[in-house]
Chains A and B, each alone.
Chain A
């Protein structure tokens, strides 16, 4: 699929972007928001990955010498729109998190596993922790594979 079509699909389907424009980076299969640079010279932007069942949105802050993971939002699809199912933030003096793909993926796995566990519980079901973690990891790995291109 051409990049233009990809972007059109993403604009329509992705969660609220506060009007920001997107750039698709095919090598990493990630959508990046335009971002903004503060007076202090720090740049803030979002990185969004999607698969056929899941969307992950990372809030990133690029400071003087490091990139921080300020938040993660996970969405499931509800029809053609994304629905928020997990949200977690980091930041401040004693609660910051350096960004790495491994850290972000691990956090996504935990958040997705907890969300699935809760929803299965609402259905009266029960799936083992290890099995759910394995499933969540598989779903998160899927975010890093080319889905639309």
Chain B
């Protein structure tokens, strides 16, 4: 096995990537390919795998429910949360029926959900904000959620919300 420097020693390797039969340390999993944390992974009695993918910025949280059946990856639902202090409030949901997971679709639908939420708030509060402004705001918020955890300036403090999402 290739050896690594002190920064990543055998002890850390065993915690992160343990040998078969050894419990892995409970560390959140960042999936760079999908730009989200993987949480709440479970296997059904019929042998299908499900997990939740979570991405967030300092204002919103987007949670995906993903299902793996045979060779296929399906998107089962998207949820949009906003912060209320340190708590999360569910403000939009969208469910899918037998829809293949597609990165572009997730992003477009996330933007639409944020837009719908903002539209609702603007209308109910009688605020003055054009639909164009809302659209730009929604796009920027979703864009912020796609920031990579691997980036040097990622706000790691936000990871504190992961356990709260996991409990939902």
Contact = CB atoms under 8 A, between A and B. Distances in A.
Nearest to B152: A121
A53 B129 CA distance: 53
Interface in B6-27: 7-8, 12, 16-24, 27
B71 A46 contact: yes
Interface residues of A, number: 56
Residues of B contacting A: mostly: loop
A37 B68 CA distance: 18
Interface residues of B, number: 44
B7 A120 contact: yes
A115 B47 contact: no
Interface in A101-138: 111, 114-123, 125-127, 131-132, 134-135, 137-138
B18 A122 contact: no
Contact of B12 (A35, A111, A125): A125
A2 interface: no
A78 B22 CA distance: 6
A14 to B, nearest CB: 10
Contacts of B47: 16-20
B7 A13 contact: no
Contact of B20 (A16, A61, A77, A88): A77
Nearest to B73: A89
B28 A122 contact: yes
A96 to B, nearest CB: 13
B8 A16 contact: no
Taking each of A54, A60, A78, A131, which has the highest tally of chain B beta carbons within 10 Å of its own beta carbon? A78
Interface of B: 1-2, 4-5, 7-8, 12, 16-24, 27-34, 38, 41, 43-44, 46-49, 51, 68-71, 73, 101-102, 149-150, 156, 159
